[in-house]
Structure 1
């Protein structure tokens, strides 16, 4: 169990002398959980409840100790690892997302509505959809809608008009790469 690794790693660890008092707490809670797991295998509801409570108590202690390790280590990965804790991978920016591909449009369920879909873009946390009456000119009124899925229903379009639609994925990079134009006639 991870708690045993942390307990052993913190025991007499010269990097964390101030955390020596945490070791017996972790050991005691870890032993309680081990006993509770054995009892819960063939036990009743109360034994399972006790096991779950023992797990919560150990997890809370490990989290509390982990915060102390983080504070003492000042984020030094080698020190954190020496305490038996894992380190998170540093997230790297992925840059601008690629332009959406395979745009499709079909009539929506309501008069004057359009369902637009496209392929999922990995890394996109939302999509921006821009649409306007076609043909697009410098004075075209651009309307926007955002969504978290790779399709959206656009309502209140004027029947009998042609619309131009563009889509871009939004991620951590503020730049947007817009799709090729999709045009659709509204019924």
Structure 2
């Protein structure tokens, strides 16, 4: 005896819409199925609603992309201005630490001082990203760190099997190749001129 094969869990919204339209078209006026249950009109309404909702999601993503580009441009502009201001303060202060600090800026450590591994990264925060499978991370900046490495591990694994994901030169990173609906452990370590510091305490987050 043959059975219906829909496999809806494997289909995208667009594929479900196409399937629904095909079914409505084939069953309309079909004498074999004179009293569809649910009515074909209900399926048509659901198709219309899903089409509209999908279009809104696409439009919203485009809006977010535009805003993200604008935000990154604004951030780049501020970085440039702050760098120029830092150069000005450095020149005017003539290396006077008190004067530099009075301008609200930190002072670089003496390059001749003993160099050690970076400290342990603290205050790691994980939030849901803008796209499916994306988790955004942020953490406290570590003095002397030149970059940061991020690793993830499936929370379901025991013991955890850590996998390298991304390197960032700032105290934040995007991990965007994760599987939606899956729980992950994430950790961060700072890398300095003499090597990598200890790993942060892991945080746990479910990928969107």
> What is the TM-score of this pair, normalised by structure 1?
0.49
Whichever of the two has the greater Rg, that structure is: 1
Higher relative contact order (CA 8 A, sep 6+): 1
